[in-house]
């Protein structure tokens, strides 16, 4: 059964405060960093954005690392990209850009900074390198992988193309550079429906190959007349949610609005109030300000959206991404201090991967894809 954390409990500093497992207290002392007057002056303004998840007693353990990272960023001419699934301390206190992986990589490509520190997982750092080949891209932990990206290789895509000649390959951005390089066009969870329809129109076909997320493919297939061929990759965070979990949330939190990510199984989408990308979920909360909301996605995202929506009560379904959680304040500090671990992408491979990303960016902007919960996955969907 899924663990639920009600963020409203944190506001009352109840004994359950530390039930939030999204945070592991940093060992500031191990780095010889102290909470002194200077650190307090440099970080006090940042505390307001994380006070809903970090107690005043805990803050002196975070602040010295946050101050040290923010100083190192200036020394190294670096920016930190903070994905929506980073813990609130990283997202709010050291991140220069915040959002989804593609949005972050695009922002980083525009700045003059020489160094990019990826607050996210390895495929995201590769995308940053592909879009910023002249910058040094660092990933704070070599353990920050991804079950979805690991589900498929470039060789797999070559075999699929040989089996379905003449059909375009649309690849979700949550893939390695090697897989993107074998693809015709990339997509995100926000634009997947629009990309599938646009590429089918351009190629004059009625079927496309959409890789590698089985559930995203099924959810897209339910919303379009274009036939979908897909792969059995899954996000180990989103695949855990079930329709029973949603029923349980509705029973224990009447009136809560449930927003799901399209990497969730279709039966979860069918019983949720709204389905969209991380950006679309965040926009929904900003726009509608529901009294009580549940984000069916990685646990930390609720903490981060809550920072901008203090009057909304967030019930957190606590599924953590073990890969994202490899990125800690300490790991970021060490990455900047020692300029480690640099991510490189072989230039010829990067050029081919960039072509697939650029093909997506060249499409006219479309509103975030709407996943109508009433629509069902067609029998024609083919899983390889």
**Closer of 65 and 235 to ligand SF4 (Cβ):** 235
Q: Is 317 helix (H, G, I), strand (E, B) or coil?
A: strand
**Closer of 325 and 354 to ligand SF4 (Cβ):** 325
Minimum CB separation of residue 43 from ligand SF4 in Å reads 28
Distance of CA 46 to the CA centre of its chain: 23
In 3D, which of 49, 46, 84, 81 has the Cα closest to residue 64? 46
Minimum CB separation of residue 34 from ligand SF4 in Å reads 34
**Closer of 73 and 83 to ligand SF4 (Cβ):** 83
**Closer of 276 and 290 to ligand SF4 (Cβ):** 276
**Closer of 79 and 237 to ligand SF4 (Cβ):** 237
Residues in CB range of 292: below 8 A, 6 or more apart: 253, 255, 256, 257, 312, 313, 314, 315
- 342 beta partners: 138
Minimum CB separation of residue 210 from ligand SF4 in Å reads 15
Minimum CB separation of residue 322 from ligand SF4 in Å reads 8
Minimum CB separation of residue 195 from ligand SF4 in Å reads 18
Alpha-carbon span 98 to 314, nearest angstrom: 20
Minimum CB separation of residue 236 from ligand SF4 in Å reads 5
Binding site for ligand SF4 (CB under 6 A): 85, 121, 146-148, 174, 235-237, 298, 321, 323-324
First to last CA, the chain: 30
Distance of CA 283 to the CA centre of its chain: 15
Query: Taking a C-beta distance cutoff of 8 angstroms, is the pair 140, 335 a contact?
Result: yes
Minimum CB separation of residue 314 from ligand SF4 in Å reads 18
Instruction: Calculate ∠ Cα 219-369-90, nearest 5°.
Output: 95
**Closer of 43 and 84 to ligand SF4 (Cβ):** 84
Minimum CB separation of residue 99 from ligand SF4 in Å reads 14
Alpha-carbon span 365 to 191, nearest angstrom: 9
**Closer of 222 and 321 to ligand SF4 (Cβ):** 321
Alpha-carbon span 169 to 185, nearest angstrom: 7
H-helix segments, the chain: 7-11, 37-47, 59-76, 88-93, 101-110, 122-131, 154-163, 177-181, 192-203, 214-221, 243-252, 266-270, 278-288, 300-308, 329-338, 347-361
- 266 beta partners: none
**Closer of 58 and 236 to ligand SF4 (Cβ):** 236
């Amino acid at each position: 059964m899924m663990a639920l954390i009600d963020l409203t409990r944190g506001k009352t500093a109840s004994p359950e405060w530390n039930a939030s497992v999204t945070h592991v207290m940093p060992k500031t002392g191990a780095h010889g960093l102290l909470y002194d007057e200077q650190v307090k002056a440099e970080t006090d303004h940042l505390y307001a954005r994380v006070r809903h998840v970090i107690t005043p007693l805990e803050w002196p353990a975070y602040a010295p690392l946050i101050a040290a990272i923010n100083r190192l960023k200036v020394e190294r001419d670096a920016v930190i990209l903070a994905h929506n699934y980073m813990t609130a301390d990283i997202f709010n206190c050291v991140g220069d850009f915040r959002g989804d992986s593609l949005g972050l990589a695009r922002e980083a490509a525009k700045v003059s900074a020489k160094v990019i520190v990826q607050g996210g997982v390895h495929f995201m750092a590769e995308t940053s390198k592909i879009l910023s080949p002249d910058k040094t891209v660092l990933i704070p932990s070599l353990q920050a992988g991804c079950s979805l990206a690991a589900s498929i290789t470039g060789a797999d895509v070559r075999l699929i193309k040989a089996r379905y000649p003449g059909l375009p390959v649309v690849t979700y951005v949550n893939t390695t550079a090697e897989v993107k390089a074998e693809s015709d066009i990339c997509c995100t969870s926000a634009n997947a429906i629009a990309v599938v329809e646009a590429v089918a129109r351009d190629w004059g076909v009625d079927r496309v190959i959409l890789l590698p997320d089985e559930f995203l493919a099924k959810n897209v297939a339910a919303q379009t007349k274009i036939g979908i061929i897909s792969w059995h990759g899954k996000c180990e965070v989103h695949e855990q949610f079930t329709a029973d979990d949603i029923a349980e949330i509705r029973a224990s939190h009447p009136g809560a609005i449930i927003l799901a990510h399209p990497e969730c199984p279709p039966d979860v989408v069918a019983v949720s109030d709204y389905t969209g990308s991380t950006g679309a979920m965040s926009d929904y909360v900003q726009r509608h300000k529901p009294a009580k909301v549940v984000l069916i996605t990685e646990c930390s995202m609720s903490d981060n959206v809550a920072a901008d929506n203090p009057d909304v009560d967030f019930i957190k379904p606590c599924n953590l991404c073990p890969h994202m959680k490899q990125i800690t304040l300490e790991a970021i500090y060490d990455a900047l201090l020692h300029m480690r671990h640099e991510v490189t992408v072989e230039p010829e491979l990067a050029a081919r991967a960039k072509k697939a990303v650029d093909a997506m960016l060249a499409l006219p902007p479309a509103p975030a894809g709407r996943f109508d919960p009433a629509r069902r996955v067609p029998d024609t969907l083919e899983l390889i």
